[in-house]
Amino acid sequence: MIARRQQVAVAVAGILTAAAACQAQHHDSKASGRPAPPAARGFTLVAAGDILPHSAVLDRARFDAGGTGYDFRPMLAGAQPVVSRADLALCHVESVYGDSTGTAALTSPPEEAQGLAATGYDSCSTASDHSLDAGAAGIQGTLDTLDRAGVRHTGTARTDAEARTVALLRAGPAKVAHLAYTADTNGVPLPPAEPWAVNLLDPARVLADARAARRAGADVVVVSLRWGTAGQEAPDPQQVALARELTAARTGGRPDIDLILGTHAHAPQAYEKVNGTWVVYGLGDQVTGEMYDNTGAQDPGGNTSTIGRFTFVPPARPGGRWEVTRAEFLPQLFDIDAGRVVDINRAIVQGADLTADRDRIREVVLSRGAAKDGLAMGK
């Protein structure tokens, strides 16, 4: 274990150097808003899993900030080269934001949003079982914080009007709608005066919102779902049934939903093409602390995840569907000792012994036959 940690540490150092160079390029291109070259008529979308910083993660972010405040940029730098190069990058904020002291219960420091923005994330889903941990005030503070950082958001709302507004994002030549829902809020009821504060997962609501997004001008509709059974690598029957229902829905012969991104399982789950639409049952946790299985034993699989990367091209005819021509997954690890996101493929090139982690992720991701539909492990 010690040798493995040393190898990961060496790999992380190399990845951080590459990330710093890529971050400068990101600010010159993606952040500048310059249009893509004429030849690049499609766009790439990447999506990462839960950002769920436990106390040890926060301790590392405070250390990286020199003991004053928090700095999540070094922690996320291992994902930055992949995230910043995409035309559109999505993430999932699991907990709400509190104050910078880190003492508010059940919250994360607002500096996390700055780290997400610096990494290159454009929009984050905020609907989760923790959305109401700090009540309506927690939602207000979280969305205000993301706004200040320049990160779009979807899934929770401060007003009824905001809840009914479609989050439309620019991805190259396309307009992408990002919708988000959670299966529950850990038993915390919605505020009686603000029943729109959190998007609860209801198939009819999801499809109605997807159709509204099309009417609002969305070329592509992406739905983030916080669903499934925590700690389980295989999607549960409810996930599978809901994926079939949502991907089967069509209006005028065109699918209502173009991509489904799952979170909450806290472990990588399978990717599958269902009714012609890619479904990621579970991306896993991009940032988290030590995870434990149902027996109380530490579960190293809980610190692995994937980044999904999908290349879309425009329809052959007006009004047709934007098609995914390339679907990829990139295996990731959160090194809890170093407090760093590690791109496993890059780390292996740097000499870290992470082949077992990579192979396990690949086995799980491909467990429902996605390879036959073209899903590949990206680099």
**CATH number, domain with residue 145:** 3.60.21.10
Q: What range defines the domain where residue 15 resides? A: 2-377
Tell me the two tokens of residue 266. Answer: 């806290």
Number of domains in the chain: 1
Give pLDDT, residue 58. 93
Give pLDDT, residue 55. 86
Give pLDDT, residue 291. 63
Structure letter (DSSP) for residue 372: G
pLDDT along the chain (379 residues), means of 10: 43 47 46 43 96 90 95 97 98 88 67 98 97 95 98 98 97 97 96 96 98 97 97 95 98 97 96 98 91 60 90 92 98 94 96 96 98 97
Give pLDDT, residue 10. 41
| pTM for this prediction | 0.89
Give pLDDT, residue 40. 45
Asked if 239 contacts 233 with a C-beta cutoff of 8 angstroms, the reply is no
Give pLDDT, residue 293. 58
Give pLDDT, residue 248. 98
Tell me the torsion sign for CA atoms 92, 98, 101, 106: negative
Rg (CA), the chain: 19
In 156-219, the DSSP E strands lie at 168-171, 174-182
